[in-house]
Amino acid sequence: MASARIDLVHLAIRSGIMGHIQWKLAAAELVRGDPLLAMLPPERIRALLRQFVVDGNSLDVRAETRDEYLREDPDNPYWYRAVIPIAEFPQGIFVEVRLIDANPQEPWVEIVSAHRQS
pLDDT of residue 64: 82
Structural domain for 96, as ranges: 6-116
Taking residues 19-29, report their average pLDDT: 97
Taking residues 3-13, report their average pLDDT: 93
pLDDT of residue 1: 47
* Calpha distance 37→104 (Å, rounded): 34
| Long-range Cβ contact pairs of 12-15 (< 8 A, separation 24 or more) | 12/99, 12/101, 12/107, 12/108, 12/109, 13/49, 13/50, 13/53, 13/59, 13/97, 13/109, 14/50, 14/53, 14/54, 15/106, 15/107
Domain assignment of residue 36, yes or no: yes
Q: Work out how many domains the chain is built from and give that number.
A: 1
- DSSP letter for each residue of 10-28: HHHHHSTTT-SEEE-HHHH
CATH code for position 46 = 3.30.2310
Domain assignment of residue 94, yes or no: yes
Domain assignment of residue 1, yes or no: no
Band (2; pLDDT cuts 50, 70, 90): low
Domain assignment of residue 32, yes or no: yes
pLDDT (tens digit, 9 = 90+) per residue, 98-116? Answer: 999 999 999 999 999 999 9
In this structure, of 11-15, 37-41, 63-67, the range with the lowest mean pLDDT score is 63-67
pLDDT (tens digit, 9 = 90+) per residue, 50-91? Answer: 999 999 999 999 988 877 777 887 777 899 999 999 998 999
Give the predicted TM-score (pTM) of the model: 0.91
Domain assignment of residue 84, yes or no: yes
